[in-house]
Structure 1
Amino acid sequence: MVRHSAFYLAAAASLCLGFAAAEDVVVVSGPKEFDALLKDNSFVVAEFFAPWCGHCKKLAPEYEKAAGPLKKNNPPVTLASIDATEEANKPLAEKYGVQGFPTLKIFKGGDASAPTDYNGPREADGIVSYLQKQSGPASVELTSKADVPAFVQKEVAVLGVFADAKSTEFKTFSAAADAARDEYDFGHVFDSSFLDGEAEPQAAPSILMFKQYDAPMLKYQGKLTDKAAIMEWLSSKSLPSLVELDQKPRNRAALQKIFSSPTPKLLGFAGKDDSNLAEFKKALTDVPTTGAALQVVFIETGGNAQALQYFGIEAKDTPAFVIHDQNNNAKYISFNTKPSKLPGFVSDYEAGKLEKHVKTEAPPKKNNGPVKVVTGTTFEDIVLAKGQNTMIEFYAPWCGHCKTLAPIYEEVGEFFQKNKTVTIAKMDATANDVPDGRFQVKGFPTLMFVDSKGEIKPYEGERTKDGLVEFIEANSVGASSSAASKEEL
């Protein structure tokens, strides 16, 4: 199954990938070799791959290209590759929780017990740049007044002021910087006069945050020896007052947190030329909530066609407000709205007065084929029909695995076509909402079975005609026997 968020043959195949031929990428086989590698190298990046993985094949030449420059870095960075399908490497893959490919882990100081995830780019220059930053000091010392102006112009710059490097406060700051170096730029000075012109004189120790948005400078008021408190301050204060769906670093980190959270989302859609855009954004920034927690995101329609498609919104429908409650598979939409309407929209949501919006295709005029076509509005009538045993496939038109399954699934439909108690159905889950929250579609294809008593079971077996038929027959309640079905066919 192609997982969401992952859009992700043995030795001979790995040679085709180029792993064994790469002079600068270290090929690892087994825990002993891996332990020896960590012992001899202070900074190691290990890629766990599968020879059949398309994403791994795409990464391979970039990874190899990056290995040479990183080998010459100060300190050196060693890139390693581990075929997770190899029997000798399976204990390593299991130990480090490898569940998808490629998975990249960073090991520092020979410590095999606590790697960090590689979250950087997947092309050579980006890999080199990212790992050079990772291998260097987490916080850069600014050694003159002239260093400060350029540093504070970064998207989010965190600057520590300390008397010396021996203090507990500096060590705590450095630990926080190391943990959060992916998200922010950290620097420090041991002479507070360097800040003249950029900030008011700050007594050591202190921590400042400079941002290119919202409040230009903030000062940490908490305990300077509490790493967790510093991390929490960084996380909360670095968020923009209104998060926007774009690729800016300030929003990217915030969006990752928002979309990985189960909290319902309030989304505002508007075009950049909308006459009320400033007022629209202010309404989202100041949104009042009395009971329900909502995470707010602004989406500019011009560069976010995929988001519009997901919610079934066209440009002519905007400005629009959307409340998306993933936990209940519920979407509530106010089309062609005004900023002044937002408080009432949120209030009605909190009071349970809004009608659920279901994105749907028009049902086909004829639907008598071996595989019934399901839409958002016909889902209940077909999939949850009383007395029926139904196998439903949720697919995406662009999904390669779905295309491979299609002819097999059609054969399954033909097998059961004359069986009046079994229905084989499919639904384009990119064009239709699944209105029942019990059906969680997190990848394509997703196959689920509903027996005639309403019990739902996921299908996780082999995607073959025999496998599907056997599962359906074994789990159907009150269905005609397969023998009868075959005789009718």
Structure 2
Amino acid sequence: MADVSSALIALLILSPMGLGIDVLQLQNTDFDYWVSEQDMMLVKFFAPWCKKCQKLAPEYENAATRLKGTVTLAEVDCSANSGMCGRFGVNGYPTLKIFRNGKEAAIYNGPHTAVFTHAEGIVQYMQKQVGPSSVSLHSKADLDAFIDNFDASIVGFFPGHGSTQLAEFLKAAATLRESYRFAHTTKAELGVMHDLHTETVLLFRPPRLHSTFETSIEKYDGPINISGLRKFIKDNIFGICPHVTQDNRDKLKGRDLLTAFYDLDYVRDPKGSKYWRNRVLKVASQFQSRSLSFAVADRREFWKELEQEFGLGLSDSGGPPVVTIRTREGHKYTMREEFTRDGKALERFLEDYFAGYLKRFIKSQPAPERNNGPIKVVVAETFEEIVNDPDKDVLIEFYAPSCRHCKNLEPKYVGLGQKLLGNPRIIIAKMDATANDVPNGYDVQGFPTIYFARVGKKDLPLKYEGPREVKDILKFLEREATHRLGQRSTKDEL
């Protein structure tokens, strides 16, 4: 028994982990040793007083347990090991870095949330980092198995391991592995199968998305380097009509995008999923040259967004797709006619869209019948008329009815409006940002958020970030307003 106790004590002395803890606790003295012992390690640099670090801690521990035996997760307390954190340029907490074979390889760039990172996001992200950045393929069976995947596959074909182009391909794979799947082969017969007689790269779209409306393979013809491959993949990976999910939707940002939402499930209902997508593809192929991208998505995955952003209630399952368009400027359109199997309704919708006949969808409360108080109530449909009035400066508060800070601000904001009520050149306004679309240019991430729309600069609203006392807001307005404020006098000190 004594021998067992002695062995256990020795184990605890030698190991930077305590019993029941799967996150390595690293110090200045042992950091280099433990990092060099691992093929790959994720290291969290933190400070005990940091609230984000405190929220991340249980998620990080959970991820470490789930990844045990696959990827090692470690952490460094920067308050006790400032030299180590300074060495790796840590200037904010928490900071996560990936190390490979003892050397810093990359900043962790996985899924972020309000609590910084979820365990599931860490697990999925780090699992993609395991193994080589590009898989070596030796046979047709290897190639077939690799491209038979839910995601697209990028495969390089080379004459031998000494190829300089292969070396460039592997550099690109190491850089882009977080976003795409790579493989390579030096087997000439695999290239011949695809009629390749020189070293090049092919992009294979997922088998579930194959259709008669587009090729399932795209060939890269440029010089093989990181920038060229990145552009080639970005331009071709989605094809005419990709399957959009919560995981890949950010990659489609910056486009004018039409999305058809229906009960899409390639596992349980591949036939139905393909049927409706093919109907969209048929129409999309006719409008492909226009400045609009197309996609399909599972309505159940996006039902909250459809309900809140487009007013589309989707309680019933099944049925034809519902169609929306969201532009880069944030404008929204919905197809009110039912999607027909021949695609004619979608064609009419698109013809009206490109002709400029469609009315934008705006989520808006009804405009109030009376609006003469010290605070003008703005809704989405009256925003242009009130806030973008070219002759008036407008201070507008974006609020949420349930927000405690908004309720605390209300009497002060009303007091501000009362002091300026006699000035015809300035408007003090508010808008419920939970019930109305917030226009582009107004970044509302929390409540209350206050902006000032000045005459002549309506396209560049100025965010107010000072104290929320009336006297402080007045000082701001006196400095920024186009004309003198002309305040009402009052006995109360505001």
TM-score, with length taken from structure 2: 0.69
The percent of aligned pairs where both chains have the same amino acid is 28
Of 355-364 and 168-177, more deviation after overlay is shown by 355-364
State the partner residue of 2:395.
391
What letter matches 2:176 in structure 1?
Answer: A
CA deviation string 1:145-182 (max 9, x = no partner): 65454333222333444454322232222222212222
Q: CA separation of 1:189/1:377 partners in 2, compared to 1, >3 Å: closer, same or farther?
A: closer
CA distance in 1, matches of 2:398, 2:308: 15
Q: CA separation of 1:148/1:304 partners in 2, compared to 1, >3 Å: closer, same or farther?
A: same
CA distance in 2, matches of 1:89, 1:395: 44
Post-superposition shift, 1:110? 6.0
The question of 1:480 aligning with 2:470 is answered: no
Of 60, 63, 66, 2:57 maps to 60
CA distance in 2, matches of 1:111, 1:311: 46
Q: CA separation of 1:115/1:462 partners in 2, compared to 1, >3 Å: closer, same or farther?
A: farther
State the partner residue of 2:269.
none
State the partner residue of 1:324.
326
State the partner residue of 1:14.
none
State the partner residue of 1:336.
337
What letter matches 1:45 in structure 2?
Answer: L
The question of 1:307 aligning with 2:305 is answered: yes
State the partner residue of 2:450.
447
The question of 1:184 aligning with 2:186 is answered: no
State the partner residue of 2:363.
359
State the partner residue of 1:119.
110
Post-superposition shift, 1:449? 1.6
Describe the SS at the equivalent of 1:232: helix
TM-score, with length taken from structure 1: 0.70
Post-superposition shift, 1:380? 3.9
State the partner residue of 1:174.
170
1:229-244 correspondence runs (5 A): 229-244=228-243
CA distance in 1, matches of 2:409, 2:328: 32
Q: Is the 8 A contact 2:134 2:182 kept in 1?
A: yes
Q: Is the 8 A contact 1:25 1:67 kept in 2?
A: no
Q: Which has the higher contact order (CA 8 A, sep 6+)?
A: 1
Of 372-381 and 208-217, more deviation after overlay is shown by 208-217
Post-superposition shift, 1:458? 1.8
CA distance in 1, matches of 2:34, 2:478: 52
CA deviation string 1:423-453 (max 9, x = no partner): 4332123432345x5x433523331123577
Q: Rg: which structure is higher?
A: 2
Of 48-57 and 424-433, more deviation after overlay is shown by 48-57
Q: Is the 8 A contact 1:384 1:454 kept in 2?
A: no
Describe the SS at the equivalent of 1:115: strand
Q: Is the 8 A contact 2:241 2:295 kept in 1?
A: yes
Q: CA separation of 1:265/1:453 partners in 2, compared to 1, >3 Å: closer, same or farther?
A: same
CA distance in 1, matches of 2:309, 2:465: 28
Describe the SS at the equivalent of 2:250: helix
CA distance in 2, matches of 1:69, 1:322: 39
Post-superposition shift, 1:308? 1.7
Q: Is the 8 A contact 2:135 2:183 kept in 1?
A: yes
CA deviation string 1:115-137 (max 9, x = no partner): 34422584546635643542532
What letter matches 2:110 in structure 1?
Answer: N
Q: CA separation of 1:313/1:66 partners in 2, compared to 1, >3 Å: closer, same or farther?
A: closer
1:216-255 correspondence runs (5 A): 218=217, 220-223=219-222, 225-247=224-246, 252-253=247-248, 255=249
Any unmatched runs of 5+ in structure 1? 1-20
CA distance in 2, matches of 1:207, 1:453: 52
What letter matches 1:419 in structure 2?
Answer: L
Q: CA separation of 1:26/1:337 partners in 2, compared to 1, >3 Å: closer, same or farther?
A: same
CA distance in 2, matches of 1:90, 1:413: 49
Equivalent residues, number: 444
Describe the SS at the equivalent of 1:229: helix
1:30-69 correspondence runs (5 A): 43=40, 45-47=42-44, 56-67=53-64
CA distance in 2, matches of 1:89, 1:431: 49
State the partner residue of 1:140.
135
Describe the SS at the equivalent of 2:122: helix
Q: Is the 8 A contact 2:310 2:334 kept in 1?
A: no
Q: Is the 8 A contact 1:172 1:224 kept in 2?
A: no
